[in-house]
Structure 1
Amino acid sequence: MSDFLSDAFQIISNRSAATEEKIERLKQAKREIENEKDQAYVEIKKLLHPSLDSLWEGTEANTFDESRQEAYEYMKRKILYQYDYYIVQIDWEISQLQLQQNTLDFASTIAHQADRLWSQGEEAAEAYGRKLNELKGWLF
Structure 2
Amino acid sequence: MSYSDILYSLSQTISSQSADVDEKISRLKKAKKDLVNEQHAVENEWEKILDPDLGQSWTGNRADHFDKARRGAKKEIEQTFQEEVEQYTSQIQQKINLLEMQRESLRVASYLSHEAGGLLHKGEEAYAAIEHKFTEIRKRLL
Q: Partner residue of 1:136?
A: 138
Gaps of 5+ in 2: none
Contact 1:118 1:128 in 2 (8 A): yes
Tell me how far 1:79 sits from its aligned partner. 1.9
Deviation readout 1:40-94 (Å, 9 max, x if unpaired): 1112221123333343333223212211110101111122222221111111111
The SS at the match of 1:112 is helix
Alignment of 1:45-56 (within 5 A): 45-56=47-58
Which residue matches 2:78?
A: 76
Q: What does residue range 1-140 of structure 1 map to in structure 2 within 5 Å?
A: 2-140=4-142
Could you say what secondary structure the match of 2:121 adopts? helix
The answer to which of 50-59 and 9-18 deviates more is 50-59
Provide the C-alpha distance between the structure 2 equivalents of 1:137 and 1:36, rounded to a whole number of angstroms: 41
User: Which residue type is aligned with residue 45 of structure 1?
Assistant: E
Count of matched residue positions in the alignment of Structure 1 and Structure 2: 140
Name the % identity. Answer: 36
Q: Structure 1 stretches (4+) deviating beyond 6 angstroms?
A: none
How far does the alpha carbon of each residue in 1:20-39 deviate from its partner, in whole angstroms, 9 at most, with x for none? Answer: 01111111111211121111
Structure 1: give runs of 5+ residues left out of the alignment: none
Write the distance in 2 (CA, Å) between the matches of 1:93 and 1:139: 18
Structural RMSD (CA): 1.7
Q: Which residue identity lines up with residue 83 of structure 1 in the other structure?
A: V
The alpha-carbon deviation at position 108 of structure 1 amounts to 0.6
CA deviation string 1:87-123 (max 9, x = no partner): 1111111111111101101111111111111112233
CA distance in 1, matches of 2:96, 2:7: 29
- The residue type paired with residue 102 of structure 2 is Q
